[in-house]
Amino acid sequence: MTSVIASIMILGALMYAASTQLSLVRRSLQRTSSTLVAEAGIEHAMSTLTANWNASGGSGMLYEDPGVNTTSAGSFSYTISALNESKRLITATGTSPTGRSAQVVGLAEFISGDAVSLSRYALLAKAYIGFGGSSSIQTMPLNTHNADARTNGYITQGGSSAIDGTLFAVGTIAGMGYYPNQPNYAEINFPEETQIQDWEAEWRTQSQSAGRTYSASSLPASIVAPAYITGNVSLTGKKTLTITGSGFVFVQGSLNMNAQTVITNSATLVVRDSFTCNGQSYYTIPSSALIPPSGGITGTLINLYGDMQLNGGGEATGIIYCARGNMRVNGGAIYRGSLIAGGYIETIGSYTQYYSGDMNSNVNFPINLRLTKIVEP
């Protein structure tokens, strides 16, 4: 009898030990899962800091099926604290689907490099810049010699084209601006695809925050930002569109201007696909914003994935950025402001551009960062 009791006790102890071990393994796996989610929060914070070095925090979700986003792997939140001008402390908390949490701390450090405003250069392109015909890149006021052009590729200048500024290129430069050329120059840190996708999601959400949604087929003549527009916008027959307010207006499609149409934009207009301005049409910003006070924001047009064309006597004013596409301006077009392309920029025909360094944008290129340390407290 004594031996039976002893056997039962031993068996019970073994079962308890196995149960305890299983519980520990389960908790360890949950801990690992929540830690991985917290580390995803660190990565998200790094992406946020590349776009905004002064960011203070954020949150998000991690999915087991990215792109489909039906199965949650957990949620994260993080805070960002400034240690000094070049370092940021990131504290991220990850929570698994079972509710267990883990915290991870990371240190982000600024690396010397280019963190440029969209308005820093008259023309800025990742692939190359080509000046042709009688293209003239001038300054406002005239002869201030700061209408600079810069590319990660090469620059070609043909015909009777002229640039009142300096030419900067990673590659070769065939031509001459007002000041001596700067070939073999450092690369600009252009946003990657993931950064642009993050921008798209963020700006779409912000545009929908006020609940103002319009169909492109029944667009009113005046819109207050933030606002969201579905479909391809096509303005013809001297139609006008005035955008007031602040924040983002997001067009989930393309934007085409033809036959003497006019857009006046005080906000940040984001067009997901292509932008075209033809037939003596005008894309502009309010005259009071042409020379804004220090730190002022001028109307910015951002073309996320398509190309931009300015043709046939069309005119545009402000800051236009094609994040992934190319820019082509020609045929008597006139532009006042900054042109930026994630592809190439070509100016041909009798194109004239006026550049003023006083314009400002609420969107900057990412800065160069590195994650120097990541630890679990």
The two tokens of residue 230 are 């579905």
Name the average pLDDT for the chain: 81
Residue 300 in contact with residue 317, Cβ under 8 Å?
A: no
Reply yes or no on whether the pLDDT at 321 is more than 50: yes
**Contact indicator for 320, 337 with CB cutoff of 8 Å:** yes
Assigned token pair, 136: 């003239």
Q: Are 30 and 100 in contact (CB under 8 A)?
A: yes
Match 């207009």 to its residue by tokens. 269
Residue range 204-214: average pLDDT? Answer: 95
Torsion angle of the four alpha carbons 44, 50, 52, 56, in this order, in degrees rounded to the nearest 10: 40
Res. 185 pLDDT band, cuts 50 70 90: confident
How far is 347 from 275, CA to CA, in rounded Å?
A: 16
Q: What percent of the chain has pLDDT over 90?
A: 36
The span from the CA of 118 to the CA of 298, in Å, is 11
pLDDT in tens, 42-63: 888 887 887 677 788 999 988 8
Burial class (CB in 10 A: 0-12, 13-18, 19+), 70: exposed
Residue 180 CB coordination number (10 Å): 10
Among 81-90, 123-132, 216-225, which is the least confidently predicted range? 81-90
pLDDT confidence band for 163 (50 / 70 / 90): very high
Asked whether 61 and 75 are in contact (CB, 8 A), the reply is yes
Q: What is the pLDDT of residue 270?
A: 93
Checking if the pLDDT of 29 tops 60, the result is no
Backbone angles phi and psi of 161, in degrees to 5: -65, 150
Q: Contact 344/324 with Cβ under 8 angstroms? A: no
Q: How far apart are CA 90 and CA 80, in angstroms?
A: 5
Q: How far is residue 235 from each of residues 154, 160, 221, 281, measured CA to CA in Å?
A: 36, 34, 11, 9
Identity of the highest mean pLDDT range in 66-70, 83-87, 203-207: 203-207
| In the predicted structure, residue 101 carries a pLDDT above the cut 50 | yes
Contacts of 248 (CB under 8 A, 6+ apart): 203, 206, 207, 225, 226, 267, 268, 269, 270
Least confident of 107-121, 199-213, 337-351: 107-121
CA gap 121, 90 in Å, rounded: 33
Task: Determine the pLDDT at residue 226.
Answer: 95
Is the pLDDT reported for residue 74 higher than 80? Answer: yes
Burial (CB count within 10 angstroms: exposed 0-12, middle 13-18, buried 19+), residue 183: middle
Residues 170-179, mean pLDDT to the nearest whole number: 94
At residue 365, the pLDDT reads 63
pLDDT of residue 369: 64
pLDDT at 363: 61
Which is more confidently placed, 24 or 372? 372
Highest mean pLDDT pick, 102-116, 193-207, 220-234, 363-377? 220-234
Query: What's the confidence (pLDDT) of residue 289?
Result: 44
pLDDT at 288: 47
pLDDT band at 68 (very low <50, low <70, confident <90, very high): confident
Give the mean pLDDT of 91-100. 91
Domain map (residue ranges) of the chain: 2-114+368-375, 123-355
Q: Is 4 helix (H, G, I), strand (E, B) or coil?
A: helix
What does the pLDDT read at residue 20? Answer: 37
Per-residue confidence (pLDDT) for residue 107, from 0 to 100:
84
CATH architecture of 2-114+368-375: 2-Layer Sandwich (3.30)
Number of H helices, E strands in the chain: 2, 29
Instruction: Tell me which DSSP letter residue 292 carries.
Output: P
Residues 15-37 have a mean pLDDT of 53
273 band by pLDDT with thresholds 50, 70 and 90 = very high
Q: Which of 117, 125, 150 is nearest to 341 (CA)?
A: 125
Looking at per-residue pLDDT, the higher value among 90 and 17 belongs to 90
108-138 pLDDT, tens digit per residue, is: 876 655 556 677 889 999 999 999 888 999 9
Q: What sign for the dihedral angle of Cα 171, 123, 188, 321?
A: negative
The percentage of residues in the chain with a pLDDT greater than 70, rounded to a whole number, is 80
- pLDDT, residue 21, reads 41
- The structure tokens listed for 40 are 């995803």
Helix intervals (H) in the chain: 2-51, 193-207
